[in-house]
Structure 1
Amino acid sequence: MRVLCAVAMIALLAGPAYAQTAPIQKYGDPDKEKTQGEIEAEKRAEKAYQRSLGNVPNASGPVDPWGNVRSGDAQKTAAKPAPEKRSKPANPPN
Protein backbone atom coordinates (compact mmCIF):
# COMPACT_ATOMS: atom_id res chain seq x y z
CA MET A 1 0.00 0.00 0.00
CA ARG A 2 2.87 2.37 0.78
CA VAL A 3 4.43 1.72 -2.62
CA LEU A 4 1.15 2.47 -4.38
CA CYS A 5 0.77 5.70 -2.40
CA ALA A 6 4.37 6.75 -3.22
CA VAL A 7 3.85 6.07 -6.94
CA ALA A 8 0.61 8.08 -6.91
CA MET A 9 2.35 11.04 -5.20
CA ILE A 10 5.19 11.04 -7.71
CA ALA A 11 2.73 10.91 -10.61
CA LEU A 12 0.66 13.76 -9.18
CA LEU A 13 3.76 15.92 -8.64
CA ALA A 14 5.21 15.20 -12.09
CA GLY A 15 2.12 16.45 -13.96
CA PRO A 16 2.34 20.14 -12.98
CA ALA A 17 6.13 20.15 -13.36
CA TYR A 18 5.82 18.80 -16.90
CA ALA A 19 3.19 21.40 -17.73
CA GLN A 20 5.57 24.25 -16.84
CA THR A 21 8.04 23.48 -19.62
CA ALA A 22 7.96 25.85 -22.57
CA PRO A 23 6.78 24.39 -25.86
CA ILE A 24 9.62 23.69 -28.28
CA GLN A 25 9.22 24.61 -31.92
CA LYS A 26 9.32 21.51 -34.08
CA TYR A 27 11.13 21.25 -37.41
CA GLY A 28 8.99 22.65 -40.20
CA ASP A 29 6.70 24.67 -37.91
CA PRO A 30 6.22 28.28 -39.01
CA ASP A 31 7.99 30.93 -36.95
CA LYS A 32 5.98 32.83 -34.38
CA GLU A 33 4.97 36.35 -35.34
CA LYS A 34 6.96 39.00 -33.47
CA THR A 35 5.14 41.67 -31.53
CA GLN A 36 5.72 45.34 -32.24
CA GLY A 37 7.71 45.64 -29.00
CA GLU A 38 10.03 42.79 -29.99
CA ILE A 39 10.62 44.35 -33.42
CA GLU A 40 11.47 47.73 -31.87
CA ALA A 41 13.76 46.09 -29.31
CA GLU A 42 15.65 44.32 -32.12
CA LYS A 43 16.05 47.60 -34.01
CA ARG A 44 17.37 49.36 -30.88
CA ALA A 45 19.79 46.51 -30.22
CA GLU A 46 21.03 46.61 -33.82
CA LYS A 47 21.58 50.39 -33.65
CA ALA A 48 23.45 50.04 -30.35
CA TYR A 49 25.62 47.32 -31.89
CA GLN A 50 26.45 49.50 -34.91
CA ARG A 51 27.31 52.43 -32.61
CA SER A 52 29.59 50.20 -30.54
CA LEU A 53 31.43 49.12 -33.70
CA GLY A 54 32.27 52.77 -34.31
CA ASN A 55 34.02 52.96 -30.91
CA VAL A 56 36.48 50.20 -31.78
CA PRO A 57 39.81 51.67 -32.92
CA ASN A 58 41.17 50.57 -36.27
CA ALA A 59 44.16 48.27 -36.25
CA SER A 60 47.34 50.14 -37.15
CA GLY A 61 49.25 47.12 -38.42
CA PRO A 62 50.19 43.74 -37.08
CA VAL A 63 50.36 43.47 -33.31
CA ASP A 64 53.12 41.44 -31.70
CA PRO A 65 52.33 40.89 -28.00
CA TRP A 66 55.60 38.97 -27.49
CA GLY A 67 57.73 41.63 -29.19
CA ASN A 68 59.29 42.86 -25.94
CA VAL A 69 60.36 39.30 -25.05
CA ARG A 70 62.22 38.60 -28.28
CA SER A 71 65.64 40.04 -28.91
CA GLY A 72 65.85 42.86 -31.42
CA ASP A 73 68.46 41.27 -33.68
CA ALA A 74 66.56 38.01 -34.25
CA GLN A 75 64.99 37.47 -37.63
CA LYS A 76 61.26 38.04 -37.78
CA THR A 77 60.63 34.86 -39.72
CA ALA A 78 62.91 31.90 -40.08
CA ALA A 79 63.66 31.26 -43.72
CA LYS A 80 63.21 27.63 -44.74
CA PRO A 81 65.94 26.21 -46.94
CA ALA A 82 64.80 25.10 -50.36
CA PRO A 83 64.25 21.34 -50.42
CA GLU A 84 66.72 19.37 -52.49
CA LYS A 85 65.43 17.86 -55.66
CA ARG A 86 65.57 14.11 -55.30
CA SER A 87 66.24 11.90 -58.22
CA LYS A 88 64.78 8.45 -58.55
CA PRO A 89 67.31 5.73 -57.58
CA ALA A 90 68.39 3.34 -60.31
CA ASN A 91 67.69 0.25 -58.20
CA PRO A 92 64.68 0.67 -55.89
CA PRO A 93 64.91 -1.24 -52.58
CA ASN A 94 61.83 -3.39 -53.26
Structure 2
Amino acid sequence: MRIFYAIAMIALLAGPAAAQQTVPKYGEPDPDKTPAQIEADKRAERAYQKALGNVPAGAPTDPWGNVRSDAAPKPAAKPAKGAKPVNPTTSAGSAK
Protein backbone atom coordinates (compact mmCIF):
# COMPACT_ATOMS: atom_id res chain seq x y z
CA MET A 1 0.00 0.00 0.00
CA ARG A 2 2.90 2.38 0.70
CA ILE A 3 4.19 1.87 -2.82
CA PHE A 4 0.80 2.91 -4.21
CA TYR A 5 0.85 6.11 -2.14
CA ALA A 6 4.42 6.87 -3.20
CA ILE A 7 3.56 6.45 -6.88
CA ALA A 8 0.46 8.63 -6.45
CA MET A 9 2.51 11.41 -4.79
CA ILE A 10 5.13 11.32 -7.54
CA ALA A 11 2.40 11.53 -10.19
CA LEU A 12 0.71 14.46 -8.43
CA LEU A 13 4.00 16.36 -8.17
CA ALA A 14 5.03 15.62 -11.77
CA GLY A 15 1.99 17.37 -13.27
CA PRO A 16 2.81 20.94 -12.13
CA ALA A 17 6.51 20.41 -12.83
CA ALA A 18 5.77 19.43 -16.43
CA ALA A 19 3.46 22.44 -16.87
CA GLN A 20 6.20 24.85 -15.82
CA GLN A 21 8.42 23.77 -18.69
CA THR A 22 6.11 25.29 -21.30
CA VAL A 23 6.39 28.86 -19.90
CA PRO A 24 9.29 30.88 -21.37
CA LYS A 25 11.82 31.71 -18.73
CA TYR A 26 13.02 35.22 -17.90
CA GLY A 27 15.68 36.41 -20.33
CA GLU A 28 14.73 34.01 -23.11
CA PRO A 29 13.64 35.59 -26.39
CA ASP A 30 9.91 35.62 -27.07
CA PRO A 31 8.69 33.14 -29.63
CA ASP A 32 8.14 34.58 -33.11
CA LYS A 33 4.79 36.24 -33.62
CA THR A 34 2.50 35.65 -36.54
CA PRO A 35 1.70 38.58 -38.86
CA ALA A 36 -1.82 38.68 -37.39
CA GLN A 37 -0.41 39.04 -33.86
CA ILE A 38 1.97 41.80 -34.99
CA GLU A 39 -0.89 43.69 -36.64
CA ALA A 40 -3.06 43.28 -33.53
CA ASP A 41 -0.23 44.67 -31.37
CA LYS A 42 0.11 47.68 -33.68
CA ARG A 43 -3.65 48.35 -33.55
CA ALA A 44 -3.63 48.08 -29.76
CA GLU A 45 -0.70 50.51 -29.52
CA ARG A 46 -2.44 53.03 -31.81
CA ALA A 47 -5.65 52.76 -29.76
CA TYR A 48 -3.66 53.30 -26.57
CA GLN A 49 -1.93 56.40 -27.96
CA LYS A 50 -5.27 57.77 -29.20
CA ALA A 51 -6.81 57.23 -25.77
CA LEU A 52 -3.90 59.08 -24.16
CA GLY A 53 -4.54 62.00 -26.50
CA ASN A 54 -8.13 62.26 -25.23
CA VAL A 55 -7.03 62.85 -21.64
CA PRO A 56 -7.19 66.56 -20.82
CA ALA A 57 -4.00 68.16 -19.60
CA GLY A 58 -4.67 69.62 -16.16
CA ALA A 59 -2.67 71.51 -13.63
CA PRO A 60 -0.35 69.37 -11.54
CA THR A 61 -1.99 68.25 -8.35
CA ASP A 62 -0.50 68.11 -4.89
CA PRO A 63 -2.21 65.36 -2.88
CA TRP A 64 -0.51 66.50 0.33
CA GLY A 65 -1.34 70.18 -0.25
CA ASN A 66 -3.94 70.45 2.49
CA VAL A 67 -1.69 68.58 4.94
CA ARG A 68 1.26 70.91 4.56
CA SER A 69 0.90 74.58 5.23
CA ASP A 70 3.00 77.53 4.14
CA ALA A 71 2.70 79.31 7.47
CA ALA A 72 4.89 78.45 10.43
CA PRO A 73 3.16 76.60 13.27
CA LYS A 74 1.48 78.88 15.74
CA PRO A 75 2.81 78.93 19.32
CA ALA A 76 0.79 77.13 21.96
CA ALA A 77 -1.88 79.22 23.61
CA LYS A 78 -1.03 80.51 27.08
CA PRO A 79 -3.41 79.51 29.87
CA ALA A 80 -5.77 82.18 31.12
CA LYS A 81 -5.04 83.94 34.40
CA GLY A 82 -6.28 82.00 37.38
CA ALA A 83 -6.43 78.65 35.50
CA LYS A 84 -4.74 75.64 37.01
CA PRO A 85 -1.57 74.51 35.23
CA VAL A 86 -1.91 71.18 33.46
CA ASN A 87 0.33 68.39 34.73
CA PRO A 88 1.41 66.37 31.67
CA THR A 89 2.34 63.34 33.81
CA THR A 90 -1.25 62.65 34.89
CA SER A 91 -4.07 61.67 32.61
CA ALA A 92 -6.91 64.08 32.00
CA GLY A 93 -9.55 61.96 33.69
CA SER A 94 -7.68 61.07 36.87
CA ALA A 95 -8.17 63.03 40.07
CA LYS A 96 -5.85 63.18 43.04
Q: How does 1:4-23 map to 2 (within 5 A)?
A: 4-21=3-20, 22-23=22-23
| Structure 1: distance between partners of 2:46 and 2:24 | 30
Q: How does 1:1-94 map to 2 (within 5 A)?
A: 2-21=1-20, 22-25=22-25, 27=27, 29-59=28-58, 61-63=59-61, 77-78=70-71
| Structure 2: distance between partners of 1:32 and 1:9 | 35
Using CA pairs under 8 Å that are at least 6 residues apart, name the structure with larger relative contact order, 1 or 2: 2
Cα shift at 1:63: 4.1
State the AA in 1 paired with 2:10: A
| Structure 2: distance between partners of 1:13 and 1:7 | 10
Gaps of 5+ in 1: 70-75, 80-94
TM-score, structure 2 as length reference = 0.51
TM-score, structure 1 as length reference = 0.52
| Structure 2: distance between partners of 1:63 and 1:17 | 48
Gaps of 5+ in 2: 73-96
Identical positions, percent = 41
Q: How many corresponding residue pairs? A: 69
State the AA in 2 paired with 1:51: K
* Post-superposition CA distance 1:37-74 (Å, at most 9, x none): 22111101111111101110111x3446788x7xxxxx
CA RMSD of aligned residues (A): 3.0
